[in-house]
Structure formats: C-alpha cells, structure tokens
Structure 1
Amino acid sequence: MDKSWLGTRVVTQIGILVNDIEAVSQAYADFLGVEKPAWSWTDPAEVARTEYNGQPAAGRAKLAFFDCGQLQIELIEPDEQPSTWRDYLNEHGEGPHHIAFVIDGMKEKITLLEKRGMPLAQKGEYTGGRYAYMDATRDLKLWIELLENDK
C-alpha cells in the first residue's frame, strides 16, 4: 500500500517560470536535442474558472511542454495579472515553481494537504481535467500541483 499523502510518489512534471518562453524553449530544445515546441495560452478565466487566493482571477500564462519519458518539463511565462505564477516570478525570479502529481479525488487531496499546512492558492480547469496549486513552500520549499484528469 502506498503511504504517500497523494496516493502516488510519481512526479509527473516540473514547472519552471520564465520571462521569455521563446528563448528558454529554444535553450531546452537545443539542450535536449529536440524540436522547439509551440507554446499555447492557458484558457481565459471564464473557461478555466480560475481562482487565485479564493477569488476569481484573470491571470493567464504561455505554456510550453517537453516530454522527457516519465517526466514532463513545463515552461510557464505568466501575463501581468495576479496569479501564483506572476507573484512567484516577481518575488523569486526565474526558476523552478512546482512539481506535479496526477491524482484522483481532487477535493479530498486539497483538504488533506490544507490540514497539513499546505494551503490551496490557485485552481482551475483545463481541457480534460483540473489543477490545483498547493503552497508547500514552508515544508517542501516549492509548490505542489495536483492534476486530476477526466476519465
């Protein structure tokens, strides 16, 4: 039986905040020896139903993904609107933002992590599922992203 809080220990993704997704995407493509992926915008707030710190939020980001076997590298260039991405980038600069886990039972996992001192900061929907960013910086020194895909 898996004793992890999330029911998995498999890290699915590392999210990295950047100021220039074009330049950093090219640098990763060169480093990995792959084609530079196209970036795309996150859905607008009315589609994603984004909430940041418990309030509706308009923050969006450009995303580019590199699939590296079991692990995906996600590059994130936020717009200027308030979001976990923008605030973290402004405070800490470019670099790692989160590690992500694919989970089942989003509401239950959010409640569990909040009870353990990791508050929900941002959540939203994407085509095929939903995400939640949990502030685990006190204990784990970065954010945890929960990803729940529709079945």
Structure 2
Amino acid sequence: MKPLPFLQQGVAQIAFVVEDLDKTVENYYNLFGIGPWHFYTYEKPMVSHMTRNGQPTEYAMRVALSYFASMRIELIEQQHGDTVYNEFIQEHGYGIHHLGILVDDMQIAIAMAEQAGFTVTMDGAGFGLDGDGHYAYLDTEKAIGTTLELICRPKGRRTPERIYPAEEA
C-alpha cells in the first residue's frame, strides 16, 4: 500500500464539537481575540447531497468559522439527525473532533482512502455558490487517534447568516 498523501500539505482546519456555539464563539473572541466568526447552518437545501455511512440522509449542524493565524478553526453544534458529531458526543463528550485536509479532487481522494481501508462515515456536497464544495469524514480514529475530514472548498461561499462580532458600519 502506498502512503496516503493527505497530510503532506499540512492540516488546514481543526474542528471542535461544542455544546453551545454562540457561547463558545464569544469565549474564543473574548479570551483569545479570535474572530471574526462566520456562522452557517449546514442542512438541506443549502447542502444538497448528504450521506451517512453511504446512505442518503438529512442532518443539520450550525458551524462558526474563523482563523487562528493561517489555521481555520471550525466550531460545530449538532442540531439534528444521525451524524458523526452526535456519535462523537456520545462516545467522547465535547472537544476536538477532526482535522481538516484540503483536497483538489474529492472522488480521487475518497478512492485513495477506500483503497487504504478507510470508509466515508458522513459527507455533504453542494454548499458553495455554484453548487460546488464537498466534505467527507473518514473512519480514521482507530488508526490515528482522530477523524480526518477531506475538504474540497467551494470557489465561492454563501453570505454568512451572521458574523461575530458584528461588523461596524
């Protein structure tokens, strides 16, 4: 088996599953000065394609995105549905959930992961302005101690639902 190239370019994102998204964002901003935070709710119809363990499904989560230097931070609050976040909360409580890895071609990346014995546990696609954007979580926790998320970022992002702190006019 050839080594997977996913970590060769480094980690682009670290993600935390949190109990209260708004309170956690305020804490990051007030304690560490991290912000601004862009809020989105990932659910249908914004995310047009969703699967869990290979089967079509529907779920929702609220996310807030910001940067700590060049590292993107993603905070995730489980809303509803059978998700990797809900499973993580049941098994571990709240905390660091996954490392995000950027890929150029999601289908090639998933095929490489599957060839190495890793399955996609949950994915979503179509959340970009042009219907692009795709994320896929791999079942890597037993092998490396955490989950890897493959991310093919959209060319354009939708307008955030809100920004914290609010931008001044």
Q: Deviations over 1:68-97 (max 9, x none)?
A: 222011000011310111121222110011
Unpaired runs of 5+ residues, structure 1, are none
Q: Is the 8 A contact 1:39 1:63 kept in 2?
A: yes
Q: Matches of 1:67 and 1:150 in 2, distance apart?
A: 17
Q: Is the 8 A contact 1:17 1:75 kept in 2?
A: yes
Alignment of 1:16-35 (within 5 A): 16-35=16-35
- Counterpart of 1:71? 71
- Counterpart of 1:109? 109
4+ residue segments displaced more than 6 Å: none
Q: Matches of 1:38 and 1:137 in 2, distance apart?
A: 28
Residues 76 and 25 of structure 1: CA distance in aligned 2, closer, same or farther (over 3 Å): same
Q: Secondary structure at the match of 1:62?
A: strand
- Counterpart of 1:142? 146
Aligned-pair distance for 1:8? 3.5
TM-score by length of 1: 0.88
Q: Is the 8 A contact 1:52 1:83 kept in 2?
A: yes
Mean CA deviation greater in 54-63 or 141-150: 141-150
Q: Matches of 1:102 and 1:146 in 2, distance apart?
A: 6
Aligned-pair distance for 1:10? 1.8
Q: Matches of 2:17 and 2:93 in 1, distance apart?
A: 8
Question: What percentage of residue pairs aligned between the two structures are identical?
Answer: 26
Aligned-pair distance for 1:118? 1.9
TM-score by length of 2: 0.79
- Counterpart of 1:133? 137
Residues 63 and 112 of structure 1: CA distance in aligned 2, closer, same or farther (over 3 Å): same
The number of equivalent residue pairs is 149
Q: Secondary structure at the match of 1:50?
A: strand
- Tell me the amino acid that sits aligned with residue 56 of structure 1: P
Q: Secondary structure at the match of 2:9?
A: coil
Residues 81 and 4 of structure 1: CA distance in aligned 2, closer, same or farther (over 3 Å): closer
Aligned-pair distance for 1:124? 1.1
- Tell me the amino acid that sits aligned with residue 134 of structure 1: L
Unpaired runs of 5+ residues, structure 2, are 156-169
Q: Is the 8 A contact 2:53 2:122 kept in 1?
A: yes
